[in-house]
């Protein structure tokens, strides 16, 4: 046991403590859990098998929910001709500074530059313009899974990189009401997915004018609180009204035989969600994965595996558990202590320990990754025990994340309070706002925090704006954001 | 019925007969079955829901087979720095003429040009160089699902476009033997997948030196015959030996503590497979989808749907069938004849017709898309009947495709025969070859056909080369290729 403890200790020592340096802890976990690999393409990352498998589970489960919401998948080109990008003014202003330009195809210079899509509103508009003629062609509720490129200067694995994976939904509707409904519907799909699958509670709300998407009439967002008290924008849903439709000329003949412009929405979530999982659930031993996005939910670790029957029993348990969860056996020649540390680093929700004595007693030990709590269970109904425990872990991880967020959500009614909070702590601050961008700018300047959203669940904390003291219009969540 | 027939006739008239103009038939089907949409990005296509859903089914089922073969998914950047692309000489010569170059990121010119990946050998090498140190790190059996770009001049939907979707597997091994085994293993996975899922029989074999991949020691291929007698290269698997490893310096410490170069492979299949499905199985009524890749396997069409109970019954049948297949009801206000024609155009394997008389008799009509054969079946065991029929269709589609291929496979033992065949027909021609590129070049010049592969199943057709009369080394499949 002494040797195991040392091996375990050694592996853990290789990651920085999160209380000491959260950013370094994050980088260490991302590397030691083998989520990300090295590449000589600046600002880009390799997503390794352990990282990609999480994305695959996100994609599969989110896609199912999309299908239940009537969404169909398509694929559009990755290139946008410059003239197309420029059709909607706000949009091009927002994105032009951070796109990558293709200027040569084969050995020839191109007649027109193409940008690598930073997002595909313009391409979908170009497509809908040709595909939508009558009210019978509406609504279009399309989505694509792809990668996009934004030429960021500072990058961090999963949180901000020059290329990232995402889904982008783009819809076209006959009426403004239907577009607004779809915008909110998809935001709700996102929030529910994050709570139920990623075990991350979300604040749903609307972005201020200052923070909204380039070209949108209204942007809605889900915001999560990370372990270090910083906020992470985790998904957005935009209502474009008929702005893009007018810029691109997307008209349809309505039932009354008049030509009308369509109303559009778009919505997206990205590999950034993997960053959220790490920063909400992780601890000083490494990654902690919610069961529903854990590529390995149960890792069976044989103790004294050279003793007769131990390895065979481990394989037998794996074969039995395969019907209820994603399971593997660690049958490498590493010491049990090292295997324990590695299973913890990789965030497997449950570790099953089985040794010679357990064999005799017809028992094994289940160890939870999230609480590190151990229980001895009878082998007879291992499938049932594991199923039950995975559900408990999933539920309790969400509860703990919610408790952490609530414990780090503060209220301020004047600037003195507001400043004091951010001097001492990091978290969400709820405060009233007059609706003027001047106050938003001033708050950002003085406290280095941004408005995260105007939550759907409004509270009346005071009559006046936290900044200027004029009559308040909205309660806003403020925070330092990734 | 007269009206229905007219509607049906009208829809069918909109596609060119395949005997009249196969290329135009293909284009018509791709458009009328709504697989492809318009885009103003030259040489690129929009894959619409009906097309993407086929790709999704291909991806899902192929990915399962990959996992059974021990493959793990990853994601690498879409950009390749020019210096990286240039490290392997043959490879850069093969690809440089057809890559797209990014020269600006944001508002700044880049210090080094980046190409948009035409294939990712160089990126995987760069990654493995940093990730492989010891024999314990091997093998690496990675795959990625992504899109790639090749600046083609002539493009055709699915068959050849500037951007296309694919998977690319890249592996690294400790020994040459293991790399060769993996190369063949994956070719076999491809061939089996195409036969079992796409119902397309494949010729497996090796490419000649002239036709092999840029940078490979050996390229293996699966080749299919389209309805018009032209060949389609449907998947390739390459053994790189240690050529890339030496160019990139990918070394590992072996068990005997000496430094060795890894041996590598790569293998890919693309959205071109959708083109193969269309051209192997399609007919003058449109698309014909093999059940295993049909997004809609059964379409329930109510007859006289306004009569009491008909629509309800249609929904009931759909609900029952949902447990055994992918099913939908066409409850639009179009005429049954139009619905029939549309279901045929879209290639749904089975159409279920249910009208007031069937309701009374407790029966319905099943109509096969592939043979257009109708059978009346009892509603009691509709699930069983449909399941059985889908299996029969899947099997018979493969059998018909194989019979068509065999009927269009010819043998030539001298140039006169060889020329005569291609004057009159199009198909595969089996002929002996001396192994010299001069003969390959001459055959291409005179007959406009290329060597498709040296099949694993060799036959001894003659002692001498079909072209030069010198001693023959290999039997080769020749054909006109897409």
- Cβ atoms A274, A293 nearer than 8 A: no
Question: What's the pLDDT score for residue A22?
Answer: 97
Percent of chain A topping pLDDT 70: 97
Query: Is pLDDT at A5 greater than 60 in this prediction?
Result: no
Burial code of B355-377, b = ≥16 C-beta within 10 A, e = fewer?
bbebbeeeebbbbbbbeeeeeeb
Residues B234, B349, single domain; the answer is no
Residues A135, A35, single domain; the answer is yes
Partner-chain contact A97 B106, CB within 8 Å: yes
Measure CB to CB from residue B76 to each of A46, A127, A146 and give the nearest one. Answer: A46
Residues A241, A144, single domain; the answer is yes
Q: To 10 degrees, the CA torsion angle through A412, A414, A420, A426?
A: 40
| Domain-ending residue, one of A326, A359, A391 | A391
Domain contains A176: yes
Domain contains B436: yes
Question: What's the pLDDT score for residue A1?
Answer: 40
* Mean pLDDT of the region B47-59: 98
Query: Is pLDDT at B479 greater than 80 in this prediction?
Result: yes
Count up the domains in chain B and report the number: 3
Query: Is pLDDT at A117 greater than 60 in this prediction?
Result: yes
Bridge partners (DSSP) of residue B474 are B433
| Confidence tier at A210 by pLDDT (50, 70, 90) | very high
Residue A443: in which H helix or E strand, if any? helix A437-447
**What's the Rg (C-alpha) of chain B?**
25
Distance from CA of B471 to the nearest CA of A (A): 41
Measure CB to CB from residue A105 to each of B55, B127, B151 and give the nearest one. Answer: B151
| Confidence tier at A89 by pLDDT (50, 70, 90) | confident
Partner-chain contact A105 B102, CB within 8 Å: no
Measure CB to CB from residue B127 to each of A38, A53, A103 and give the nearest one. Answer: A38
| Confidence tier at A223 by pLDDT (50, 70, 90) | very high
Partner-chain contact A53 B39, CB within 8 Å: no
Separation CA B93–CA B401 (nearest Å) = 37
Residue A358: in which H helix or E strand, if any? helix A356-361
Give the tens place of pLDDT for each residue, A313-343.
999 999 999 999 999 999 999 999 999 999 9
Q: How many CB pairs under 8 A join A and B?
A: 153
Domain contains B16: no
Partner-chain contact A163 B77, CB within 8 Å: yes
Chain B residues 81-140 within an 8 A CB cutoff of chain A: 81, 84, 96-107, 114, 116, 123, 126-127, 130-131
What is the side-by-side order of every strand in the sheet holding B363-368? B327-329, B298-302, B350-354, B363-368, B374-378
Q: What is the mean pLDDT of chain B?
A: 95
Percent of chain B topping pLDDT 90: 93
Residues A61, A182, single domain; the answer is yes
Domain contains B127: yes
Question: What's the pLDDT score for residue B233?
Answer: 98
Measure CB to CB from residue B165 to each of A75, A105, A106 and give the nearest one. Answer: A75
| Confidence tier at A14 by pLDDT (50, 70, 90) | confident
Q: Which long-range contacts (CB under 8 A, 24 or more apart) does A398-407 make?
A: A398/A195, A398/A199, A398/A200, A398/A201, A398/A290, A400/A370, A401/A199, A401/A200, A401/A201, A401/A280, A401/A281, A402/A201, A404/A225, A404/A227, A404/A280, A405/A201, A405/A224, A405/A225
Which residues of chain A make contact with B109, given a CB cutoff of 8 A?
Answer: none
| Confidence tier at A126 by pLDDT (50, 70, 90) | very high
| Confidence tier at B96 by pLDDT (50, 70, 90) | confident
Domain contains B290: no
Partner-chain contact B40 A81, CB within 8 Å: yes
> Which two structure tokens, joined as six digits, stand for A404?
């952490």
Domain contains A402: no
Residues A266, A318, single domain; the answer is no
Strands (DSSP E) contained in B277-387 are: 298-302, 327-329, 350-354, 363-368, 374-378
Partner-chain contact A127 B47, CB within 8 Å: no
- In chain A, which residue's Cα lies nearest the Cα of B71? A49
Separation CA B228–CA B21 (nearest Å) = 10
CATH of the domain at A38: 3.30.930.10
Give the tens place of pLDDT for each residue, A268-289.
999 999 999 999 999 999 999 9
Question: What's the pLDDT score for residue B5?
Answer: 55
* Phi, psi for residue A332 in degrees, rounded to 5: -65, 175
Distance from CA of A307 to the nearest CA of B (A): 24
Which residue of A34, A39, A113, A122 to mutate against B (max B Cβ within 10 Å)?
Answer: A39
Residues B147, B225, single domain; the answer is yes
Which residue of B60, B101, B133 to mutate against A (max A Cβ within 10 Å)?
Answer: B101
Residues 6+ away with beta carbon under 8 Å from A293: A54, A57, A58, A61, A197, A198, A277
Compute CA distances A307 → A302, A310, A332, A343, whole Å.
Answer: 10, 6, 15, 22
Partner-chain contact B101 A98, CB within 8 Å: no
- In chain A, which residue's Cα lies nearest the Cα of B48? A74
Give the tens place of pLDDT for each residue, B337-389.
999 999 999 999 999 999 999 999 999 999 999 999 999 999 999 999 999 99
Compute CA distances B238 → A92, B217, B220, B264, B409, whole Å.
Answer: 43, 7, 6, 9, 26
Q: What is the mean pLDDT of chain A?
A: 95
Helices (H), ranges, B230-285: 243-248, 272-281
The answer to whether residue B218 neighbours chain A at the CB level (below 8 Å) is: no
Which residues of chain B make contact with A74, given a CB cutoff of 8 A?
Answer: 37, 46-49, 52
Query: Is pLDDT at A407 greater than 90 in this prediction?
Result: yes
Separation CA A139–CA A171 (nearest Å) = 7
Residues B99, B138, single domain; the answer is yes
Which residues of chain B make contact with A77, given a CB cutoff of 8 A?
Answer: 39, 41, 44-46, 163
Where do we find the tokens 């109904």?
Answer: A381
Domain contains A8: no
* Phi, psi for residue B377 in degrees, rounded to 5: -130, 155
> Which two structure tokens, joined as six digits, stand for B287?
């698309």
Question: What's the pLDDT score for residue B91?
Answer: 86
Where do we find the tokens 């029929």?
Answer: B389
Partner-chain contact A41 B77, CB within 8 Å: yes
Question: What's the pLDDT score for residue B38?
Answer: 85
Partner-chain contact B47 A101, CB within 8 Å: no
Question: What's the pLDDT score for residue B13?
Answer: 62
Residues A67, A192, single domain; the answer is yes
Distance from CA of B74 to the nearest CA of A (A): 5
Partner-chain contact A39 B165, CB within 8 Å: no
Separation CA A30–CA A41 (nearest Å) = 18
* Mean pLDDT of the region A28-42: 94
Partner-chain contact B79 A44, CB within 8 Å: yes
Partner-chain contact B149 A123, CB within 8 Å: no
* Mean pLDDT of the region A91-95: 88
Percent of chain A topping pLDDT 90: 93
Residue A359: in which H helix or E strand, if any? helix A356-361
The answer to whether residue B168 neighbours chain A at the CB level (below 8 Å) is: no
Residue A442: in which H helix or E strand, if any? helix A437-447
- What residues make up the domain containing B272? 22-281
Query: Is pLDDT at A239 greater than 60 in this prediction?
Result: yes
Separation CA A66–CA A71 (nearest Å) = 5
Measure CB to CB from residue B74 to each of A46, A101, A162 and give the nearest one. Answer: A46
| Confidence tier at A7 by pLDDT (50, 70, 90) | low
Query: Is pLDDT at B4 greater than 70 in this prediction?
Result: no
Distance from CA of A127 to the nearest CA of B (A): 6
| Domain-ending residue, one of B246, B281, B316 | B281
- Cβ atoms A235, A269 nearer than 8 A: yes
Distance from CA of B53 to the nearest CA of A (A): 7
Residues A436, A461, single domain; the answer is yes
| Confidence tier at B6 by pLDDT (50, 70, 90) | low
Which residues of chain B make contact with A39, given a CB cutoff of 8 A?
Answer: 76-77, 123, 126-127
Of A293-302, A321-330, A388-397, B32-41, the one with minimum mean pLDDT is: B32-41
Length of chain A: 482
Separation CA A469–CA A202 (nearest Å) = 29
Measure CB to CB from residue A74 to each of B49, B123, B151 and give the nearest one. Answer: B49
* Mean pLDDT of the region B407-413: 98
Please tell me what DSSP assigns to residue A379: G
Partner-chain contact B47 A74, CB within 8 Å: yes
What is the side-by-side order of every strand in the sheet holding A100-105? A79-81, A108-116, A100-105, B100-105, B108-116, B79-81
Query: Is pLDDT at B70 greater than 60 in this prediction?
Result: yes
Where do we find the tokens 């029952």?
Answer: B320
Which residue of B44, B55, B105, B129 to mutate against A (max A Cβ within 10 Å)?
Answer: B105
Domain contains B439: yes
Partner-chain contact B100 A98, CB within 8 Å: no
Query: Is pLDDT at A4 greater than 70 in this prediction?
Result: no
* Mean pLDDT of the region B248-276: 98
Question: What's the pLDDT score for residue B369?
Answer: 98
Question: What's the pLDDT score for residue A107?
Answer: 87
Which residues of chain A make contact with B334, given a CB cutoff of 8 A?
Answer: none
Question: What's the pLDDT score for residue A420?
Answer: 96
Distance from CA of B115 to the nearest CA of A (A): 9
CATH of the domain at B332: 3.40.50.800
| Domain-ending residue, one of B356, B391, B426 | B391
Separation CA A161–CA A152 (nearest Å) = 7
The answer to whether residue A73 neighbours chain B at the CB level (below 8 Å) is: yes
CATH of the domain at B456: 3.30.110.30
Distance from CA of A282 to the nearest CA of B (A): 22
Compute CA distances B175 → A126, B99, B130, B150, whole Å.
Answer: 51, 32, 19, 32
Measure CB to CB from residue B131 to each of A37, A104, A127 and give the nearest one. Answer: A37
Give the tens place of pLDDT for each residue, A432-447.
999 999 999 999 999 9
- In chain B, which residue's Cα lies nearest the Cα of A60? B60
Residues A73, A194, single domain; the answer is yes
Which residues of chain A make contact with B146, given a CB cutoff of 8 A?
Answer: 147
The answer to whether residue B41 neighbours chain A at the CB level (below 8 Å) is: yes
Separation CA A65–CA A189 (nearest Å) = 7
Question: What's the pLDDT score for residue B1?
Answer: 40
Residues B177, B265, single domain; the answer is yes
Distance from CA of A103 to the nearest CA of B (A): 6
Which residues of chain A make contact with B80, given a CB cutoff of 8 A?
Answer: 41
- In chain A, which residue's Cα lies nearest the Cα of B150? A106
Distance from CA of A371 to the nearest CA of B (A): 30
Residues A269, A120, single domain; the answer is yes
Separation CA A288–CA A311 (nearest Å) = 26
Please tell me what DSSP assigns to residue A156: B
Nearest CA among B313, B305, B283, B186 for reference residue B239? B186
Measure CB to CB from residue B77 to each of A44, A52, A72 and give the nearest one. Answer: A44
């Amino acid at each position: 046991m002494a040797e195991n403890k040392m091996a375990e200790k050694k592996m853990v020592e290789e990651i920085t403590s999160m209380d000491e340096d959260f950013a370094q802890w994050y980088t260490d976990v991302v590397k030691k859990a083998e989520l990300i690999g090295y590449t000589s393409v600046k600002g880009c990352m390799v997503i390794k098998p352990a990282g990609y498998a999480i994305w695959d589970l996100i994609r599969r489960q989110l896609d199912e929910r999309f299908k239940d919401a009537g969404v169909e998948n398509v694929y559009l080109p990755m290139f946008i001709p410059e003239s197309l990008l420029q059709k909607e003014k706000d949009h091009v202003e927002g994105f032009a500074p951070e796109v990558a330009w293709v200027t040569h195809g084969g050995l020839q210079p191109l007649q027109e530059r193409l940008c690598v899509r930073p997002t595909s509103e313009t391409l979908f508009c170009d497509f809908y313009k040709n595909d939508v003629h009558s009210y019978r062609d509406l609504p279009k509720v399309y989505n694509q899974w792809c990668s996009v490129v934004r030429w960021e200067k500072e990058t961090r694995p999963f949180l901000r990189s020059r290329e990232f994976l995402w889904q982008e939904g783009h819809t076209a509707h006959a009426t403004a009401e239907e577009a607004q409904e779809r915008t909110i519907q998809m935001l709700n799909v996102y929030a529910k997915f994050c709570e139920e699958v990623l075990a991350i509670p979300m604040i749903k709300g609307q972005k201020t004018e200052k923070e909204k998407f380039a070209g949108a009439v209204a942007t809605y967002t889900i915001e999560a609180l990370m372990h270090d008290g910083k906020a992470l924008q985790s998904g957005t849903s935009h209502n474009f009204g008929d702005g893009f439709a007018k810029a691109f000329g997307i008209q349809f003949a309505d039932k009354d035989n008049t030509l009308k412009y369509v109303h559009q929405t778009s919505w997206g979530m990205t590999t950034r969600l993997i960053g959220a999982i790490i920063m909400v659930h992780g601890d000083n031993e490494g990654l902690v994965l919610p069961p529903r996005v854990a590529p390995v939910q149960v890792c069976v670790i044989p103790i004294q595996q050279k003793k007769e029957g131990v390895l065979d029993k481990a394989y037998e348990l794996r074969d039995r558990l395969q019907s209820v969860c994603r399971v593997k056996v660690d049958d490498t020649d590493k010491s049990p202590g090292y295997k324990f540390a590695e299973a913890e680093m990789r965030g497997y929700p449950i570790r099953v320990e089985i040794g010679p004595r357990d064999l005799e007693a017809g028992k094994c030990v289940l160890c939870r990754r999230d609480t590190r709590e151990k229980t001895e269970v009878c082998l007879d109904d291992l499938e049932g025990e594991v199923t039950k425990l995975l559900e408990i872990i999933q539920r309790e991880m969400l509860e703990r994340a919610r408790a952490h967020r609530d414990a780090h959500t503060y209220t301020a009614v004047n600037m003195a309070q507001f400043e004091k909070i951010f001097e001492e702590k990091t978290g969400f601050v709820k405060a009233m706002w007059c609706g003027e961008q001047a106050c938003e700018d001033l708050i950002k300047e003085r406290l280095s925090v941004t408005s995260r959203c105007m939550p759907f669940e409004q509270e009346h904390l005071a009559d006046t704006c936290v900044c200027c003291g004029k009559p308040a219009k909205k309660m806003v969540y403020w925070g330092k954001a990734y």
